[in-house]
A = this chain, B = another copy of it.
Amino acid sequence: MRRERVRDLLAQVADGSLDVDRALATLALDPSESLGYATIDHHRALRQGFPEVVYGAGKTPAQIVGIACRIADRGDGVLVTRIAEDAAAALAAELPGVEHNAVARTAHLRPSTPIAAARARLLVVTAGTSDLPVAEEAAVTADAMGCATDRLTDVGVAGLHRLLARREMLDEAGVIIVVAGMDGALASVVGGLARVPVIAVPTSVGYGAAFQGIAPLLTMLNSCAAGVTVVNIDNGFGAAMAAARILHS
């Protein structure tokens, strides 16, 4: 249960629109709930400001639907990442308001009480067209966390003027996520131009010695631009969560 929702409940009690017993029942729910195959951490929203996100890979559609419904029952929004087509269909059948983004492989149900808006905008920069699914996962996650997102697409360093021509976008963002595969060099260039926090996401785009993303991962970890941080390969979700931690602080 998110802080905003607890505050709402208390406000409703205060103005008489919710009676005390029903408010109590809602607040008294157990912070974690076991489904046998999963133990849902309902307190995560209170503790960290956003509810537990469901990692869809390796879970059956039935498990995903089961977990998502339990979270939705509490009035929290639900975000599922790495969701397969069949699981997304099953989820949509059960929770009608769910938005499925096939490129990002996400399913998102917005919470009844809107999440608080972040203090600045996020910019997601990609090196190439093939990096879009990861960038999209970041954008959907950021949206779910209350962060508005701008995009700057296909501005890899092989054609540097594409980036330099849009340099003002780097100056206006609150946080920048750089998504790049292959040589991953874009993170260093953006890191050297921008003042704000830069989070680099290596992608598994490429072949041969790209080693499914190891090459850009190493590039980014060794960025000569000081203060660039890195998340796991293809982890658009994690980059957006890190951005949300910054933009809500």
Chain A interface (Cβ < 8 Å from any Cβ of B): 31-32, 34, 36-39, 41, 43-44, 47-49, 52-53, 55, 57-59, 63, 67, 82, 120, 127-130, 132, 153-162, 165, 174-175, 182-185, 187-189, 191-199, 202, 204-235, 237-246, 248-249
Alpha-carbon distance between A182 and B211 when the two chains are bound, in angstroms: 18
Of A183, A194, A214, A215, the most chain B CB neighbours within 10 A belong to: A183
Contacts of A156 in B (CB 8 A): 224
Cβ contact within 8 Å between B231 and A230? yes
Distance in angstroms from A220 CB to nearest chain B CB is: 7
Alpha-carbon distance between A113 and B212 when the two chains are bound, in angstroms: 39
Quickly give the copy total for this chain: 8
Contacts of A224 in B (CB 8 A): 127-128, 156-158, 182-183, 185
Alpha-carbon distance between A193 and B161 when the two chains are bound, in angstroms: 10
Residue of B at shortest CB range from A176?
Answer: B245
